[in-house]
């Protein structure tokens, strides 16, 4: 796998919960969309991880995950201010990092990509982050995002993932390299308290 470590950990987490996963699902607005602008909309974006659990119903059946492995942490209040004011972040307009939440033609394309891969219109949009520095509900309940996707939005942290999967790791071979590394860490008895 060449995905980033957070993507691999999200994959392990979803599989641990019974999901089948796919990575880097491309999407972009339809070329016949009335707002399509060739110079802005010709390059694909991608959904980092999509998980489908055939045993569930409703929006929890499909998880569409956007991974943001920023070591400085995810600050929902600050990120929303950047988006609302279209600040320049890392050399580009802030909305481009969350186009599926900010621009209707991209929201439509995102939802269509999820439906094409899963057969479902209902899904949960997940923003997976290294560490959360703020209130997750500020992001999850942001009205413009709710309108954009018309589906639940969740924040998932690296810590949330470890809290769930680490205690349940056993000696059965993990499904990913990162899962195997976690198994070896657990087997070694190492901890930050040692």
Domain range summary for the chain, segments of one domain joined by +? 5-187
Q: Region 70-78: what's the mean pLDDT?
A: 96
Q: What are phi and psi of 189, to 5 degrees?
A: 80, 5
Read off the pLDDT band of 193 (50, 70, 90): low
CB of 29 within 8 A of CB of 36? yes
- CATH code that applies to domain 5-187: 3.40.91
CB of 154 within 8 A of CB of 140? yes
Q: Region 30-53: what's the mean pLDDT?
A: 92
The pTM for the full model equals 0.92
| 28 vs 175: which has the higher pLDDT | 28
- 2 pLDDT exceeds 80? no
Which residue intervals of the chain are DSSP H helices?
5-16, 38-41, 76-84, 99-102, 104-118, 136-140, 143-149, 158-165, 177-188
Q: Give the range among 64-68, 103-107, 126-130, 165-169 with minimum mean pLDDT.
A: 165-169
Q: Region 122-126: what's the mean pLDDT?
A: 98
pLDDT at res. 141: 98
Question: Which residues sit opposite 156 in a β-bridge?
Answer: 128
- 21 pLDDT exceeds 50? yes
Distance from C-alpha of 151 to C-alpha of 124, rounded to nearest angstrom: 6
pLDDT at res. 3: 63
**65-to-32, 50, 105, 118 alpha-carbon distances in Å:** 27, 6, 19, 13
pLDDT at res. 145: 98
- 28 pLDDT exceeds 90? yes
pLDDT at res. 1: 45
**70-to-11, 86, 110, 130, 154 alpha-carbon distances in Å:** 18, 19, 22, 6, 17
Q: Region 48-69: what's the mean pLDDT?
A: 97
pLDDT at res. 132: 98
Read off the pLDDT band of 192 (50, 70, 90): low
pLDDT at res. 194: 44
Q: Region 83-103: what's the mean pLDDT?
A: 94
Nearest in space to 27 (alpha carbons), one of 6, 44, 12, 52: 44
């Amino acid at each position: 796998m060449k995905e980033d470590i957070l993507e691999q950990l999200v994959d392990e987490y979803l599989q641990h919960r019974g999901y089948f996963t796919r990575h880097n699902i491309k999407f972009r607005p339809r070329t016949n969309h009335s707002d399509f602008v060739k110079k802005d909309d010709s390059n694909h974006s991608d959904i980092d991880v999509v998980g489908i659990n055939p045993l569930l119903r409703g929006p929890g059946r499909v998880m569409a995950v956007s991974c943001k492995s920023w070591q400085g942490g995810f600050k929902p209040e600050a990120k929303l201010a950047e988006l609302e004011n279209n600040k320049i972040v890392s050399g580009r307009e802030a909305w481009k990092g969350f186009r599926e939440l900010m621009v209707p033609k991209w929201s439509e394309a995102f939802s269509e990509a999820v439906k094409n891969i899963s057969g479902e219109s209902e899904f949960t949009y997940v923003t997976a982050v290294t560490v959360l520095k703020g209130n997750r509900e500020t992001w999850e309940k942001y009205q413009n995002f709710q309108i954009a996707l018309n589906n639940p939005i969740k924040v998932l942290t690296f810590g949330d993932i470890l809290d769930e999967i680490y205690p349940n790791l056993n000696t059965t071979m993990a499904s990913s390299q990162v899962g195997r590394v976690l198994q070896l860490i657990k087997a070694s008895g190492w901890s930050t308290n040692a």
